[in-house]
């Protein structure tokens, strides 16, 4: 398919709604606007899913469940990709598979329309469209905010059927009944259908101002047989498909999360466009199945580099293997050839001090008797080494989770045949890192940092 290059100028900045006085004073090297949205962890006090009576171990067990659900979803995508490349083709965003509610870790608060209406969006890694439930909505679940009403937004415009109908997605890729529509299937089998339209998004800027940005392609859902338990009002896909919200915002983004265990941590953030934070070390990145693959070369525990043949992490001809960074998965999953040496090393360090135990629902996890906060403090840092000298470093709280009152477990699981031997660097491992994605340049930037320091 051949599209005019001008379809998506990197950023169409409509107008400045408000800017603080500090921004007005910085005149010399003007920085590109940093379009940010706070990332809200599902279990944090900022989330409508927050339940003050949940214990840490309940939340961690739920995190494991959520992580598994997300991995199953990825697995399903991989199977679908093998059976039908078209369904998950990087260029097609209007037909696709999306994570169900159980597989989601973060929410983003983005305002849409004019006047802007705040929306709480599930952040999905793997799909690429930004969509919200719109009024009227057929079969849609109750949600915390009112359904978005396109008739009340002066910036809403239906996507013209005459141009670029490739975006419009019934299965033939054409407009149906004169309307450009999309349809997506959740992993759990339910579907969401709606219209493709143009709209204005309102982002926060780091100086506490707001910046409206026009996007040509977003989804306004009118039918959703999706989850019944729903606080969120839509979904923000972070995939890199051709018409994705990311590509429309310049093909660059970055995210930073701090301690996922700290329910009050408020500096988790997502930045889009030219203002994305590209700092620290850089490693080559490739997109495949709308996921962000990097070259994992080895793993160290403390000073010791484990004896792992780097070829175990290589992506194969059928798309099996390889390693990708995925903020939607919680646990880290490592191909057996890398997992086994890591597990043996952890066992050899801990067996002399702590008693092994099993976490009953999941006997395959490596678990001990004790407390992460007492018995595992001082565990050597575990580093994942990526091509060109980029590391992701896991401290104790990224390596271990308290799964029961007296049972901490290693938050790393082995990959397997069903998962096509992929390695997934999950969000526990990404804690305290800023990760920047430059899609067109094929680069990922990684910096270990307290996200609070990025907000100035």
Residues that bind ligand NAG (CB under 6 A): 46, 109, 118, 120, 320, 336, 417, 420-421
* Nearest distance from C-beta of residue 10 to ligand NAG, angstroms: 25
- Distance between CA atoms of residues 126 and 98, nearest Å: 7
For the record, the structure tokens of 319 come out as 């798309």
Nearer to ligand NAG, 280 or 414 (CB): 414
* Nearest distance from C-beta of residue 209 to ligand NAG, angstroms: 12
Nearer to ligand NAG, 396 or 416 (CB): 416
Partnered with residue 445 across adjacent β-strands are 282, 436
* Nearest distance from C-beta of residue 396 to ligand NAG, angstroms: 29
Nearer to ligand NAG, 117 or 249 (CB): 117
* Nearest distance from C-beta of residue 82 to ligand NAG, angstroms: 10
Which helix or strand (DSSP H or E) is residue 327 part of? none
* Nearest distance from C-beta of residue 119 to ligand NAG, angstroms: 8
Q: Which of 244, 298, 227 is nearest to 91 (CA)?
A: 244
Nearer to ligand NAG, 7 or 306 (CB): 306
* Nearest distance from C-beta of residue 239 to ligand NAG, angstroms: 23
What are the CB-based long-range contacts (under 8 Å, 24+) for 189-193?
190/100, 190/224, 190/225, 190/226, 190/227, 191/223, 191/224, 191/225, 191/226, 192/98, 192/131, 192/219, 192/221, 192/223, 192/224, 192/225, 192/226, 193/221, 193/222, 193/223, 193/224
Contact call for residues 123 and 238 (beta carbons, < 8 A): yes
- Distance between CA atoms of residues 78 and 84, nearest Å: 10
Nearer to ligand NAG, 109 or 357 (CB): 109
Phi, psi of 5 (to 5 degrees): -65, -20
- Distance between CA atoms of residues 206 and 373, nearest Å: 34
Bridge-based pairing of strands 117-124 and 234-237 is: parallel
* Nearest distance from C-beta of residue 340 to ligand NAG, angstroms: 10
To the nearest 10°, the Cα dihedral for 100, 104, 107, 108? -80
Contact call for residues 332 and 426 (beta carbons, < 8 A): yes
- Distance between CA atoms of residues 211 and 202, nearest Å: 6
Nearer to ligand NAG, 204 or 375 (CB): 204
* Nearest distance from C-beta of residue 46 to ligand NAG, angstroms: 5
Nearer to ligand NAG, 92 or 245 (CB): 245
* Nearest distance from C-beta of residue 337 to ligand NAG, angstroms: 6
Nearer to ligand NAG, 332 or 421 (CB): 421
Nearer to ligand NAG, 312 or 382 (CB): 312
Taking residue 75's Cβ as centre, other Cβ atoms within 10 Å add up to 16
Half-sphere exposure of 15 (CA within 13 A, CB side): 4
Bridge-based pairing of strands 252-257 and 433-438 is: antiparallel
* Nearest distance from C-beta of residue 270 to ligand NAG, angstroms: 13
Taking residue 286's Cβ as centre, other Cβ atoms within 10 Å add up to 15
DSSP 72: H
* Nearest distance from C-beta of residue 438 to ligand NAG, angstroms: 28
Nearer to ligand NAG, 124 or 195 (CB): 124
Collapsed DSSP state (helix, strand, coil) of residue 450 = coil
Nearer to ligand NAG, 259 or 414 (CB): 414
Residue 76 CA to chain centroid, in angstroms?
17
């Amino acid at each position: 398919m051949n599209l005019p290059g001008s379809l998506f100028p990197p950023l169409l900045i409509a107008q400045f709604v408000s800017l603080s006085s500090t921004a007005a004073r910085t005149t010399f090297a003007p920085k590109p606007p940093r379009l940010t949205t706070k990332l809200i962890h599902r279990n944090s006090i900022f989330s409508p899913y927050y339940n003050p009576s949940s214990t840490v171990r309940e939340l961690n067990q739920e995190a494991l469940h959520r992580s598994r659900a997300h991995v199953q979803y990825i697995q399903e995508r991989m199977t679908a990709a093998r059976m039908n490349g078209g369904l998950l083709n990087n260029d097609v965003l209007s037909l696709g598979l999306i994570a169900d509610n159980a597989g989601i870790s973060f929410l983003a608060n983005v305002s849409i329309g004019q006047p802007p209406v705040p929306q709480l969006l599930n952040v999905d890694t793997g799909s690429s469209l930004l969509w919200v439930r719109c009024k009227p909505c057929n079969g849609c679940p109750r949600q915390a905010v009112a359904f978005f009403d396109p008739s009340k937004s002066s910036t809403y415009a239906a996507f013209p059927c005459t141009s670029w109908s490739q975006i419009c997605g019934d299965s033939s890729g054409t407009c149906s009944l004169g309307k450009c529509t999309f349809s997506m299937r959740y992993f759990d089998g339910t579907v969401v259908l709606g219209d493709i339209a143009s709209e204005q998004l309102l982002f926060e800027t780091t100086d506490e101002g707001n910046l409206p940005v026009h996007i040509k392609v977003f989804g306004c859902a009118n039918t959703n047989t999706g989850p019944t338990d729903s606080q969120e009002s839509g979904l923000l896909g972070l995939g890199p498909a051709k018409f994705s919200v990311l590509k429309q915002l310049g093909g660059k983004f970055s995210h930073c999360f701090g301690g996922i265990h700290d329910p009050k941590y408020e500096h988790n953030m997502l930045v889009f466009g030219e203002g994305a934070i590209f700092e620290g070390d850089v490693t080559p990145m490739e997109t495949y199945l709308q996921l962000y693959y990097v070259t994992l070369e080895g793993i160290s525990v403390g000073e010791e580099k484990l004896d792992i043949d780097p070829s175990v992490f290589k992506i194969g001809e059928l798309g099996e293997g390889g390693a990708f960074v995925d903020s939607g998965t919680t646990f880290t999953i490592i191909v057996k050839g890398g997992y086994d040496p890591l597990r043996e090393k952890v066992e050899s360090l801990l067996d002399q001090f702590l008693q092994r135990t099993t976490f009953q629902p999941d006997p395959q996890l490596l678990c001990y008797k004790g407390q992460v906060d007492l018995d595992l403090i001082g565990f050597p840092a575990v580093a994942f080494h990526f091509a060109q000298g980029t590391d992701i470093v896991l401290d104790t709280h990224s390596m271990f989770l308290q799964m029961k009152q007296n049972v901490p477990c290693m938050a790393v699981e082995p990959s397997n045949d069903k998962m096509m031997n992929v390695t997934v660097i999950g969000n526990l491992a990404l804690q305290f890192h800023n990760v920047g994605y430059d899609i067109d340049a094929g680069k990922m930037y990684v910096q270990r940092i307290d996200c609070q320091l990025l907000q100035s």
